[in-house]
Structure 1
Amino acid sequence: MEKPTLLVLAAGMGSRYGSLKQMDGVGPDNEAIIDYSVYDAVRAGFGKVVFVIRHAFEREFREVFSPGRFGGRIEVDYVYQELDMLPEGFALPEGRVKPWGTNHAVMMAAGRIDGPFAVINADDFYGAEAYRTIGDFLRTLGGSRGSYCMVAYDLDKTLSENGTVSRGVCGVDAAGCLAGMVERTQIERMPDGRILFHDGGADEELAPDTPVSMNLFGFTPDYFTRSEEYFKVFLREHGTEPKAEFYIPTMVNKLIADGTATMRVLRSGAQWYGVTYKEDKPLLVEAIRRMIAEGRYPENLWA
């Protein structure tokens, strides 16, 4: 049975950290979140990891996340996302400095992935359960087209204690498939325990178990072709807007609305961790220490 591929969206890392050399470790042997993601993917039966990076920090990235780092346990490849990587007939608008978004990053792996694959953010800690869940589903797809999946988390397990967050709130139909995603911003847990989002003026309450997307998606290679086609439409409509981005939910919502694809929503009860604010890091470090003590990870991942 074909092993799925893990596609890691890491092109934004250089700007977030200033330099990869300064990227904070979160594990006891200075492991980064990426290390834990790859480790969990290997355990879940993934056979290859493809990193989406930028040429500006290629040398640093390859030094840190070389194939040798992972002990030969998984095949490693690299692709690049740059502003001028546009479809034929389109030119980079003058003054554009903002990246084209997460779905543009996914498109960069076309031709490097020929089977089912999962997409993750480089700086999100999803947990071993999520990789097992999506890996098992991806292995059932084979040569399918238009049958995708995502892992949705309970909203209350994705919040930060240090400020508001934005989340893609998922509508799920009776068949367990995605009906659509709506981005909600300024979500926070209030002192009385309620979870509210503040965008749009009036406050609205969200249930703790509301399914939300953390950019953990599963696709088959036909998704590249569909994205290339729709990206041209996006550029014609929004290409001159300096901050417009081609997000994965933008593409997924389009395919679902058209009836072109379905996306099974796989639920995870796991706690998600990220470093939205610098104050979030100690919580993640402590969580990893706790998981090591419980035997869920070794002290040194790649020893």
Structure 2
Amino acid sequence: MKPTLLILAAGMASRYGSMKQIDGFGPNGETIIDYSIYDAIKAGFGKISFIIREEFAESFKAIFEPKLNGRVETDYVFQNFDLTQYGIDKEIERAKPWGTAHAVLAARNQVNEPFCVINADDFYGYDAFEKMAKFLTSEVSDDTYSLIGYQIDKTLSEHGSVSRGVCKVDDNGNMVEINERTQVYFKEDGSVVYEEGGVEYPLSNDTRVSMNFWGFTPAVFKQSEPMFVEFAHKNENNPKAEFFIPLVADELIKSGTASFKVIPTANKWFGVTYKEDKPIVQKSISELVENGTYPANLWE
């Protein structure tokens, strides 16, 4: 059974929804999401599932179906605010959805095979998809999950500090814990630090970080649903609280329910944290086109 790629796109749907293509980075206006899908198909994924808000389904389909039709199966998962589906009988007012792990939970009735989760607007590189496809077809089980671990120095912006999920990895390559560091940056000498309470703490350049690229079986839906119910009750008066995938991972590790193998990649990760990052991403992609990693026109 071929694995499924689950793309967290509910946050970007507002930009798609106005039917303005989100930013083009490739030579023919390809978006970052196009490169992820292209790499996933090449690596052997059998289905692409987009997690979006339902009101943007038609505009999303108009963009992606013509490109992907005949190449790969597609599916659309809708993330919404209805809590009754989780047995919660109270209305909790929120402006934003409940976060990444809640988005994954929205797929529980549609995904029945091993799958991985990625962000829509991050560039991960083929190596990561190839390694994840291999893990999902040969190693994954209901108590053995994974995440792709990027080298921290290959994920930073030159234009300011960023937040990163810093992984502590044991001798067997499994994650022991993941800590959100909110101010990570390069110093002038090229070393990496994170700042907390005005104090700088060094991080070695090959420290592994999570860029939200996780591998699971459908068992994670049943494992995480009670956690979400508890989280929602606990945060009914905290409209900004978000139920993130690392929270679920941390709970599964601490309870002994599942381990998470950290799969290392030397790929460079690209993302647009600051507007100044955009030309850098465009330049990086054009170099990958020039060296033959990608065709000049992805979907021809």
Taking the aligned partners of 2:88 and 2:17, their CA distance within structure 1 comes to: 33
CA contact (8 A) 2:184 2:195 kept: yes
Deviation at 1:65, TM superposition (A): 1.6
Taking the aligned partners of 2:71 and 2:29, their CA distance within structure 1 comes to: 19
How many percent of aligned residue pairs carry the same amino acid? 49
- CA deviations over 1:111-149 (Å, ceiling 9, x no partner): 21111101000000000000001110110146x312101
> Counterparts in 2 of 1:42-191, with a 5 A limit?
42-66=41-65, 68-85=66-83, 87-94=86-93, 96-141=94-139, 144-191=141-188
User: What's the secondary structure of 2:196's corresponding residue?
Assistant: coil
Equivalent pairs counted in the alignment come to 299
Taking structure 2 as the reference length, the TM-score comes to 0.96
What does residue 36 of structure 2 align with? 37
Letter in structure 1 aligned against 2:270: Y
Change (3 A) 1:206 1:20: farther
User: What's the secondary structure of 1:21's corresponding residue?
Assistant: coil
- CA deviations over 1:55-105 (Å, ceiling 9, x no partner): 232222111122x312421100001111224511243323x2122000000
CA contact (8 A) 1:81 1:105 kept: yes
Taking the aligned partners of 1:230 and 1:58, their CA distance within structure 2 comes to: 28
Taking the aligned partners of 2:171 and 2:189, their CA distance within structure 1 comes to: 32
User: What's the secondary structure of 1:203's corresponding residue?
Assistant: strand
What does residue 24 of structure 1 align with? 23
Taking structure 1 as the reference length, the TM-score comes to 0.95
What does residue 224 of structure 1 align with? 221
What does residue 276 of structure 2 align with? 279
For residue 260 of structure 2, the aligned residue among 236, 257, 263 is: 263
> Tell me, which stretches of 5 or more residues in structure 1 are unaligned?
none
* Worse-superposed segment, 189-198 or 245-254: 189-198
> Tell me, which stretches of 5 or more residues in structure 2 are unaligned?
none
User: What's the secondary structure of 1:198's corresponding residue?
Assistant: strand
Deviation at 1:16, TM superposition (A): 5.7
CA contact (8 A) 2:36 2:123 kept: yes
CA contact (8 A) 2:17 2:56 kept: no
User: What's the secondary structure of 1:26's corresponding residue?
Assistant: coil
Taking the aligned partners of 1:287 and 1:89, their CA distance within structure 2 comes to: 46
* Worse-superposed segment, 80-89 or 208-217: 80-89
Coordinate RMSD, CA, aligned: 1.5
- CA deviations over 1:141-161 (Å, ceiling 9, x no partner): 46x312101100000000011
CA contact (8 A) 1:71 1:302 kept: no
